[in-house]
Amino acid sequence: MYWQRPFCPSLNLSSLKLVISAGAPLPEKIFRSFYDKYGIYPRQLYGSSETGVISINLGDDIENTFNSVGQHVKNVEVHIIDEDGKEAGVNEVGEITVKSPSMTRGYFGLPEETNKVFRGGYYFTGDLGRIDGDGFIYIVGRKKFFINISGNKVDPSEVENFLLKHPKVKEAVVLGINDSDGGERVKAVLIVDKGTQKKDILEFCKDEIAEYKIPRIIEFRDKLPRSPTGKVLREELK
């Protein structure tokens, strides 16, 4: 993680004009730490193997839209579809669907999987998001990652971003763990500074986030399992 590496004073970055972050949401802590260290703001790009590049945040107000993946690129259509299958309104959350000239026609030899996500000429990404009045896309989570706590839906990315505000938390992954009652519990896997205790994390959460969002299981690790492209392998953390 470059934002965590010591800065080399002799490093000349005057020619660096654009830094792209992709593959996972960009937490505010990393966004601001990267700028403090390198003097340039990273910008989010959104895409998928199925569609290619979908959007990129090249907006002028990057400090206030850092958590947006920007506006869709040329010749790509993006729509937000609600639970009733209708197009959502401005800033209403739903599933992000995409139509792109570079979109694949499906998954080879997997007709059932293809029919689930390629419908009506669109690719249903499985990402939940919203589009504001200026056309900026905000991703709020993955449908399959949401945690169900006694009927309350918990967005893992929301809890992750909160935990990253703790000064001793370097990285955070939040996921749902099945319990003996058939429900789920919130688990947080954290990389923290030496000497940090679980009670420090729980005290930080107390009275700051809803009770049902507070992790019931906290695990400290030295590093997170990642794919060759850098994505966290969440299944290995359960």
- Give the span between the Cα atoms of 155 and 171, in whole angstroms: 17
Just give the CATH number of 2-131: 2.30.38.10
Per-residue pLDDT tens over the stretch 197-214 = 999 999 999 989 999 999
pLDDT score for 148: 85
Q: Where are the domains of the chain?
A: 2-131, 146-237
- Give the span between the Cα atoms of 190 and 56, in whole angstroms: 29
pLDDT score for 118: 96
| Residue 162: φ, ψ to 5° | -65, -45
**Rounded average pLDDT over 94-121:** 94
Range in 50-64, 148-162, 199-213 with the lowest mean pLDDT: 148-162
- pLDDT averaged over every residue in the chain: 91
CA-wise closest residue to 160 among 174, 146, 149:
174
- Give the span between the Cα atoms of 234 and 238, in whole angstroms: 7
Q: What is the pTM of this model?
A: 0.74
Q: Strands of 42-48's sheet, edge to edge?
A: 19-21, 42-48, 52-56, 71-72
- Give the span between the Cα atoms of 118 and 133, in whole angstroms: 27
Of residues 114 and 37, more confidently modeled: 114
- In the structure, what pLDDT confidence band is assigned to residue 2 with cuts at 50, 70 and 90? low
The identity of residue 38, as a single letter, is Y
| Residue 78: φ, ψ to 5° | -130, 130
Q: What percentage of the chain carries pLDDT values higher than 70?
A: 95
Structure-token match 């504001």, residue found: 132
CATH architecture of the domain covering 146-237 = 2-Layer Sandwich (3.30)
Tell whether the model's pLDDT for residue 17 goes beyond 60. Answer: yes
Residue 142: strand pairing partners: 127
Helix ranges restricted to H, 54-155: 62-65, 111-117
Helices (H) and strands (E) in the chain, counts: 5, 14
